Amino acid sequence: MSRSRLDLIDKKILKTLQDNGRISNVELAGEVGISPPPCLRRVRILTEKGYIKSYHAEINASKMGYGVFVFAMVTLKNQDQESIKAFDAYIIKFPIIREAHLLTGEADIMLRVVAKDWDSYQEFLTNDLLSAPNVASVKSFLSLRTGKNLHGIPIE
């Protein structure tokens, strides 16, 4: 069974799994209004086609000792493909960098960084990020609080 377009049931499956990745197939089937075997088939197809990338748990950062969230706006000396790939390869080894986005505009890359405290972020900034190859400057923005944090995407 191959599908090139998502129907209403596929979208319901994706929305339900996005909201609750631990739901059982039987519960999922009930939520979307089909029986379990076709529901499982659809989930497998959605996974094979790349609609479902992974399943994970959302961990409470403060319970794990991470109290500081920083958005670091990185400006590179050179913005050619090779330089950007080299920067990506460099930052991959730092688990406190949770996201990296190539941007248009004033900064070249935005990093979302988690740290235990402000001092540990400053140490990372000074010892690792500012000394990275091709980095011209970094502007750090401390997140004071999170007003909204939705995972995934809107599914209509």
Per-residue pLDDT band for 4 (boundaries 50, 70, 90) equals low
List helix spans (H) across the chain: 8-19, 25-32, 36-48, 81-91, 118-124
Nearest to 112 by CA among 149, 89, 137, 143: 143
Per-residue pLDDT of 90-121, as tens digits, reads: 999 999 999 999 999 999 999 999 999 999 99
Per-residue pLDDT of 22-60, as tens digits, reads: 999 999 999 999 999 999 999 999 999 999 999 999 999
Nearest to 117 by CA among 62, 72, 74: 62
Domains 8-48 and 62-142 equal at CATH topology level = no
pTM to 2 decimal places? 0.85
8-48 folds as Arc Repressor Mutant, subunit A (1.10.10)
CATH number for the domain formed by residue range(s) 62-142: 3.30.70.920
Compute the mean pLDDT over every residue in the chain, rounded to the nearest whole number. Answer: 95
Decide: helix, strand or coil at residue 10. Answer: helix
Residues 107/75, Cβ–Cβ less than 8 Å: yes
Phi, psi of 137 (to 5 degrees): -160, 160
Nearest to 87 by CA among 65, 108, 62, 113: 108
Residue 20 region, left (φ>0) first, then alpha (ψ -120 to 50), else beta? beta
The domains of the chain are located at 8-48, 62-142
